[in-house]
Amino acid sequence: MALTRFERFLASMLRGAVGMLFAVFQLLAPRRGADRSVRRLPPITNPLLRVPAMQLARMIRRREVTSVEVVQTYIDRIQEINPLINAMVKDRFSLALQEAAQVDKLIEEETGGEDVLEDRLPLLGVPFTVKEAFSLQGMPNSTGLVSRRGVISATDAPPVALLKRAGAIPLGVTNCSELCMWLESHNRLYGITNNPYDLERIPGGSSGGEGSILGGGGSVIGVGSDVGGSIRIPAFFNGIFGHKPTSGVVSNGGQFPPPSGQQPGFLCTGPMCRYAQDLLPMLRVMGGANADRLSLSSEVDLKRLRFFSVPHDGGSPLVSPVDQQLVLAQRRVVERLEADLGVKVQQLKIPQLKYSFQIWSAMMGAPGKDGKKPTSFAELMSDHGKKVWPLWEMAKWTVGLSKHTVAAIGLVLVEMFQRAQPTQFILQQKESLQKDLEELLGTDGVLLYPSHPHLAPKHHHPLFTPFNFSYTGIFNILGLPVTQCPLGLSAEGLPLGLQLVVGKQQDRLSLATAVFLEKTFGGWRDPGSIATATTRLDTSRGMSTTT
């Protein structure tokens, strides 16, 4: 659907205003905390850090390596990189080492053989990380709110408990955006998290600590949640895999803030990991009995699937145009699917996608079936019942006295102008998009769609492009499963990627496609070993910095 004259005018006004605001903001904004003279992560040297989780579990069961060795290797890597990325906000290293020693003892004493252990404890001895917004017994659960400082989880969130029951060992919790509602993982409790591929850039949000620690090689599997892209955006910006499952399969229990209104249908908890082959077994564990609905054991024949490619949202004036490098990456995927699988990928335009942001925002604010409105952002932010006054808070922010981030204060302001009910027009767009996509995808369709219009932006940049997350958010409202898949690196050494969208309960199709694309495009890359054009130049002069 072509843009109207008014929309084109609106878009250019918005872009001009955004450019000016960004320049002013750069002068006021907090800087990244880490040593600014260090510009890249050290390369991975221990080969254990390059082994997928399920393979690590097999090696531990077969006593080819001990769980203590694996856990210690990850602890060493986290200690090496965390001062640069600020991704893990609280560790439990000594407990993890004790638990690993118990695992090694259990394996020593097991007489039933490897199969028994694999069946009962598929992730035995493998370390994992958890977004701080989830309860993990003994760990903080503040979701970046200063007023929740000191909240310590007494129990485990259900998906965390299931991973532990499968034998996995938590290493600690990772940073997120304030109240999990922004694209940057920044809050006044833990500070700002950096992207491992470029420390001046954002790791995404809200599960950005997970994205960054995984991308940096400090974790192999992790737990994230997503109500607008919070698994997929960090997975994209940090060059890893992430899966937003079919709604309702993985429990959303034990996370703060709890969803309200219609949000329980939109929020999804899911796996994030460096290797595509780990997504499916993680989902099987995290879904518990509900995972049976997904027929995850059924074989997927990629040659029999129908693939569709949608290059952009049709031109929403609120959203940036898709970066040319991402357009090309998607085209390369189409070429490889056609050449290697012999399928014909159909190019499509889906006009309703242009209203993605309006649909997401209207549905997130809509009352639930009981007629109750969702808990407001202002209420969630209130400090022990003390209301947040956004304009006063903004004034305090400019002089560094607010306990909140500018994004969270801005969201309270925006909320004040939100309608109580979605308009008929937006509801119609949502219904027709739902119907069209469900018919299109059926039980054998895979849709290729950009993950985000930009590559990982510089810190604070999303404040000036706040609607770009609607490329991911729309699929939360539609309840469709989506796998985020890395596709190599851009000219400046930043991760490229793509969303793979499938029909409800057809998660195995996007997971299998991700495994194929990992083989074809190389999957996750060690950010410490990337030589960009400028790095190579500098190295030839005896330097090794990336510019």
Ligand X SMILES: CCCCCCCC/C=C\CCCCCCCC(N)=O
**Among 253, 67, 29, 49, residue whose Cα is nearest residue 160:** 253
Minimum CB–partner distance for residue 505 and ligand X (Å)? 21
By C-beta, is 339 or 414 nearer to ligand X?
Answer: 414
Residue from 144, 172, 203, 229 touching ligand X (CB under 6 A): that is 229
CB neighbours (10 Å) of residue 411? Answer: 20
Minimum CB–partner distance for residue 466 and ligand X (Å)? 4
Please choose, out of 22-30, 301-309, 405-413, 523-531, the segment that lies near ligand X by the rule CB under 6 A: 405-413
By C-beta, is 209 or 410 nearer to ligand X?
Answer: 410
Spatial CB neighbours of 90, under 8 Å, sequence gap ≥ 6: 132, 139, 140, 172, 173
Residue nearest to ligand X (CB): 410
Minimum CB–partner distance for residue 233 and ligand X (Å)? 7
Minimum CB–partner distance for residue 267 and ligand X (Å)? 8
Cis preceding linkage at 257, omega within 30 = yes
Of residues 180 through 209, those in contact with ligand X by CB under 6 A are 180-183, 206
Question: 147 to each of 152, 179, 181, 467, how far by Cα in Å?
Answer: 13, 11, 17, 28
Q: What is the DSSP annotation of 157-189?
A: -HHHHHHHHTT-EEEEEE---GGG-SSS-EETT
- If DSSP states are collapsed to H, E and C, what string results for 473-496? HHHHHHCCCEEEEEEEECCCCCEE
> Binding of ligand X at residue 406 (CB under 6 A)?
yes
Active-site residue, selected from the candidate residues 67, 131, 207, 361: 131
By C-beta, is 54 or 235 nearer to ligand X?
Answer: 235
**Among 152, 273, 238, 196, residue whose Cα is nearest residue 515:** 273
CB neighbours (10 Å) of residue 207? Answer: 38
Spatial CB neighbours of 300, under 8 Å, sequence gap ≥ 6: 508, 509, 512
By C-beta, is 28 or 531 nearer to ligand X?
Answer: 28
By C-beta, is 221 or 412 nearer to ligand X?
Answer: 412
The conformation of residue 409, written as its DSSP 8-state character, comes to H
> Residues 495, 486: contact at Cβ < 8 Å?
yes
CA–CA distance, 444 with 313 (Å, rounded to integer): 23
Residue from 410, 445, 481, 527 touching ligand X (CB under 6 A): that is 410
By C-beta, is 85 or 463 nearer to ligand X?
Answer: 463
Please choose, out of 121-129, 305-313, 408-416, 488-496, the segment that lies near ligand X by the rule CB under 6 A: 408-416
By C-beta, is 284 or 354 nearer to ligand X?
Answer: 354
Minimum CB–partner distance for residue 354 and ligand X (Å)? 17
Active-site residue, selected from the candidate residues 230, 247, 316, 402: 230
By C-beta, is 466 or 486 nearer to ligand X?
Answer: 466
CA–CA distance, 522 with 26 (Å, rounded to integer): 36
Q: What is the CA radius of gyration of the chain?
A: 22
> Binding of ligand X at residue 228 (CB under 6 A)?
yes
> Binding of ligand X at residue 377 (CB under 6 A)?
no
Residue from 57, 168, 407, 456 touching ligand X (CB under 6 A): that is 407
Minimum CB–partner distance for residue 137 and ligand X (Å)? 23
Residue from 168, 359, 411, 448 touching ligand X (CB under 6 A): that is 411
| Torsion from C-alpha of 20, 24, 25, 26, nearest 10 degrees | 100
CA–CA distance, 80 with 89 (Å, rounded to integer): 14
Of residues 145 through 184, those in contact with ligand X by CB under 6 A are 180-183
> Residues 272, 222: contact at Cβ < 8 Å?
yes
Residue from 174, 175, 230, 330 touching ligand X (CB under 6 A): that is 230
Minimum CB–partner distance for residue 427 and ligand X (Å)? 19
Residue from 130, 227, 412, 489 touching ligand X (CB under 6 A): that is 227
Minimum CB–partner distance for residue 183 and ligand X (Å)? 5
> Binding of ligand X at residue 226 (CB under 6 A)?
yes
- Indicate if 230 belongs to the active site: yes
CA–CA distance, 66 with 64 (Å, rounded to integer): 7
Q: Is 148 exposed, middle or buried, given 0-12, 13-18 or 19+ CB atoms closer than 10 A?
A: middle
Active-site residue, selected from the candidate residues 177, 206, 356, 451: 206
Which tokens belong to 234? 């960090």
Q: Is 253 exposed, middle or buried, given 0-12, 13-18 or 19+ CB atoms closer than 10 A?
A: middle
Minimum CB–partner distance for residue 232 and ligand X (Å)? 8
Which amino acid would we find at residue 204?
G
CA–CA distance, 89 with 195 (Å, rounded to integer): 15
Please choose, out of 20-28, 58-66, 404-412, 525-533, the segment that lies near ligand X by the rule CB under 6 A: 404-412
What x/- string results for residues 447 through 466 when contact with ligand X is judged by CB under 6 A? ----------------x--x
Number of shown-chain residues binding ligand X (CB under 6 A): 18
By C-beta, is 183 or 273 nearer to ligand X?
Answer: 183
Residues classed as catalytic: 131, 206, 230
Q: What residues make contact with ligand X under the rule CB under 6 A? A: 180-183, 206, 226-230, 406-407, 410-411, 414, 463, 466, 469
